[in-house]
Amino acid sequence: MKKINYKKFLFFVGALAFLFFCSPKITLAAEQIKTTDYFVGAYPNQVSGAVDLPFALYIGDNLEGVSDPIKSAYFTVSGVYTGSGSLSLSLNSDASTTKAFFLPAVASPTNFEIIYQDETEIINPTSAGTYNYSLDVAPAGVTLSGLGAKLEATYQFVPTACPDGVPANEKIKSTDYFVGAYPNQVSGAVDLPFALYIGDNLEGVSDPIKSAYFTVSGVYTGSGSLSLGLNDNASTTKTFLLPAVVSPTNFEIIYQDDMGTISPLSAGTYNYSLDIAPAGVTLSGLGAKLTVSHRYKPPICGLSYPPYGDLISTIFDSTGSADGPAYNSIMWRGALGGEEFDIGEVLFQIAAADDTIGPWDYIGPNCIGGPYDWFELPPETAAEIGCYSLLNNKRYFRYKARLCSTDCSASGPTTPQVDEVIINWSP
């Protein structure tokens, strides 16, 4: 009996293994922190009595074992007010969370922006998931216009073994996009086309967009309203009242499309248009930005390799004579991939011929070849070749090897390492 060690093949996989196994690993044992933005609500009509703005906070990271994960959670409430009095803010209709902010008397509509935090820690998630709350807004003695609110939450989380985690751990991030700016005065309808780019994997993620809101700002004069919509779709339009002003006055409006026009389901570039239509007012210094918080599936830790790679050996002369041998078994030495050496597969097919020009018909244990007939072998395990009528007594042979990073159909983080291929035959 003889054995063949295909040195050229060994050199190839050795070099491949060097690339695969010498890539540096990054571990993040320390707990990390991030900030995400969420749209809370906007009220297009004037507000002179109490209103509630329900909203959802989504946490996509691992908070297990983190003591007091929420490091900062505050609301920015903005708009224009007239009158003299106060604005009370609270959470979940809980009186213990109420804070009343004094608003001094103004003769004309005046911008306001209030930052509010719940000191009683109503917002205190301890694990990943969706949490529902309500921001309660109660003006007293003042009338609000263009009311809007957003939440910024900064929390500590436990990262996985590499920076982006694994597909089973879906995460969330906030990104800002420039929508547009209009240098001239605006007294009629204008469109601001913009592109939203999603670079993360959203495959299989249910409802990936958790929050998407626009901040539109500038200076206005006159008395009337500002309508905002998306993609010339009337059903997305919201009209915000702007009270009469004698002198140019700042404004900032927070707008969300309640129809879900912004709803990408996969990575890519998505084009939209923000429609702005003032009525009775003239805008100056008009600008708009978009803040998106989306859930995504991070890539596999480390590098990701193709589902499989094939190599066909050179031609071996088994006997040096016209008479060929009986091919008995095939075996390989090396290791499967991964830290535990149990990831991936190694497959083989065998072909034999009476001449170096073939024909070379590669077959597996079922003697039929094709995409599904392979010898699938763990390392150091010999398999009987069989298929005697198709292979035996043929002088020349070669084999096809397939190295799979996982199950030969999906990409994976590592690859097998083949050091030797051993074919046993009887002269």
Question: Which pLDDT band, with edges at 50, 70 and 90, does 320 fall under?
Answer: confident
Contact 253, 183 (CB under 8 A): no
Question: Average pLDDT in the 336-355 region?
Answer: 82
Question: Using 50, 70 and 90 to split pLDDT, how confident is the model at 164?
Answer: low
Average pLDDT over residues 206-213: 91
Backbone angles phi, psi at 265, to 5 degrees: -115, 0
The pLDDT assigned to 13 comes to 34
Q: Is the pLDDT of residue 309 over 90?
A: no
The average pLDDT across 278-296 equals: 91
Model confidence pLDDT, tens digit, residues 60-73: 888 888 888 888 88
Of the chain, the end-to-end C-alpha distance in Å amounts to 7
Range list of β-strands (E), 302-344: 308-312, 316-317, 326-335
Q: Specify the 3-state DSSP secondary structure of 416.
A: coil
Q: What pTM does this model have?
A: 0.59
Q: What percent of the chain has pLDDT over 70?
A: 88
CATH placement of domain 7-23+303-426: 2.60.120
Q: In this structure, are residues 89 and 140 in contact, taking their beta carbons and an 8 Å threshold? A: no
Query: What's the rounded Cα separation, in Å, for the pair 193 and 213?
Result: 15
* pLDDT score of 174 more than 70: yes
Q: What is the residue extent of each domain of the chain?
A: 7-23+303-426, 32-296
pLDDT value at residue 2:
37
Transcribe 252-302 into DSSP letters. EEEE--TT------SSEEEEEEEEEEEEEEEEEEEEEEEEEEEEEBPPPSS
User: For 53-101, how does the pLDDT look when each residue is reduced to its tens digit (9 = 90+)?
Assistant: 999 999 888 888 888 888 888 899 999 999 999 999 999 999 999 999 9
